[in-house]
Chains A and B, each alone.
Chain A
């Protein structure tokens, strides 16, 4: 087993939350992968574009996906559909975070899901969803 699969790295969100993850999981993000390959990543990788709440969800998905790829239970479709079972606001944030992290399949998944959600709404509804009353 290659050494990088055992190594762990800490991902730090924009609001200071830290997540210790296996490098294999972290490398699901192309951005992090290239940083590591180019030797630009230390033990702690800062991600100023992603909040902890959403980073946590993405990391969770990546962990499950790595486990599934290694011969775990369940289906990839199932993992994906669970990932997007969230409200519109969260979905937007997840999409933006995936885009930032360059987890491309999550970008496609969230984009397609957002498009599907948009399609069913009126313009009023979508505007209200995008501009929640504070």
Chain B
């Protein structure tokens, strides 16, 4: 990868977001007074930088200390911008959390270093510019951060069972309080009982900085999973059938729990079915609508999918929005039943675990489009890729 031909190529070097010194020799040398850019007063510099596209602004922050200070301290650089489309972060290394972020506006990949997360198997949820990470091992480390500005906050440990079998993580920006809500749903099998699973819902309000356990219920014949999202104050989780049943039964369901109303009726009584048996069902909040993406399982062979569907929930009824056209399906090459899909605002990203190809579906235009080719290619057969979607919102803080 040749360096030095464009701003973007800077991101292919190892280090990002460190201040680059311009004078040779002394590392601590401040900007010398003969520098021409000193003729620009801060207000003017801010004006100039405010014309830069978002991605360039972070590169501009690396030019010198003064530019860095102006960029990070001046809110007007972020104000009045056309809101950026959601980015997609793809993990490209099996062991670490290294990866690249895709910007669909400029159609470019950036080597972005995520704060807080140590391994890519951590639980991830994002909402309105904030991303929540929870470690997969102990589930005791939970952070909320802005992946662009690296602003971060560690939350108190989640209450509830110590080693749940399944955990779902969901974060939601609370526009009224300008804080955020985090929900962790824990599922633990009742010992030696395949049919009974205990599910608990734990809720965190950033304003109060406290966890509250909202509900605990033992589900019969169903269990919680790792997929949950908050949409307009309601928590939605996918549940999975654990009983041994015939192939005609739909094997997943949707729990709906109103986080404000906190009704005492059982979780199962308000649950609904999903449109069909799915593999890799993913829930996402797209402009305050609940959307489900999943592989449509073949009836007789639930591990093989015959397509990928997108559904929207409208007053407890599912409405099919789109199906991935066959040519895109084929474009992924071998398509396992396992794929990653994540979305925000009006965009859904879908990628196969086995490749770096990334497909985007624009909900408002109903259009499918491949992303620009990822700079990382698969190097060995067992290499897996996954990722998540987030909104680049540098003005948002934890």
Contacts and interface: CB of A to CB of B under 8 A. Distances in A.
A132 B63 CA distance: 15
Interface string A111-131: 110111011111111111111
Interface string B66-100: 00000000000000000000000000000000000
B154 interface: no
Nearest to B60: A118
Given A111-B47, A123-B20, A131 B36 contact: yes
B265 interface: no
B6 A96 contact: no
A47 interface: no
B187 to A, nearest CB: 48
Contact of A122 (B5, B37, B44): B5
Contacts of B3: 122
Interface stretch (A27-35, A61-69, A78-86, A87-95): A87-95
B52 A130 contact: no
A123 B7 contact: yes
Given A126-B63, A134-B34, A112 B51 contact: yes
A92 B63 contact: no
B321 interface: no
Contacts of A131: 22-23, 31-32, 34-36
Interface in B42-76: 43-44, 47-53, 56, 59-60, 62-64
Nearest to B32: A131
A68 B32 CA distance: 42
B62 A119 contact: no
Given A121-B7, A123-B59, A89 B36 contact: yes
A96 B62 contact: no
Nearest to B56: A119
A79 to B, nearest CB: 20
Nearest to B5: A122
A93 B37 CA distance: 9
Nearest to B49: A115
Given A95-B44, A123-B7, A123-B10, A115 B36 contact: no
B48 A130 contact: no
A122 B6 contact: yes
A115 to B, nearest CB: 3
B22 A127 contact: yes
B38 to A, nearest CB: 9
A107 interface: yes
Contacts of B31: 131
B52 A115 contact: yes
Interface of B is mostly: loop
Contacts of A114: 48, 51
Q: In the complex, which range does the number of interface residues on chain A fall in? A: 20 to 34
B18 to A, nearest CB: 11
Interface of A is mostly: helix
Contact of A92 (B40, B50, B51): B40
B380 interface: no
A112 B52 CA distance: 8
Nearest to A120: B6
Nearest to A125: B4
B195 to A, nearest CB: 60
A89 B31 CA distance: 16
B9 interface: yes
Nearest to A128: B22
B48 A111 contact: yes
Interface string B24-42: 0000000110111101110
Contacts of B32: 131
Contacts of B39: 92-93, 96
A115 B32 CA distance: 22
A107 B51 CA distance: 12
A120 B106 CA distance: 13
From A99, A107, A112, name the one whose CB has the most chain B CB atoms within 10 angstroms.
A99
Contacts of A128: 22
B44 A107 contact: yes
A96 B44 contact: yes
A130 B37 contact: yes
B52 A92 contact: no
Given A99-B41, A131-B32, A132-B36, A123 B56 contact: no
Interface string B108-145: 00000000000000000000000000000000000000
27 contacts: A89-B36, A93-B36, A93-B39, A95-B44, A96-B39, A96-B40, A96-B41, A107-B47, A114-B48, A116-B51, A118-B56, A118-B60, A119-B7, A119-B56, A122-B3, A122-B4, A122-B6, A123-B10, A123-B59, A123-B63, A124-B4, A130-B35, A130-B36, A130-B64, A131-B23, A131-B32, A132-B36
Given A96-B40, A130-B63, 9 more contacts: A95-B40, A99-B41, A99-B44, A111-B51, A115-B49, A120-B7, A126-B63, A130-B64, A134-B34
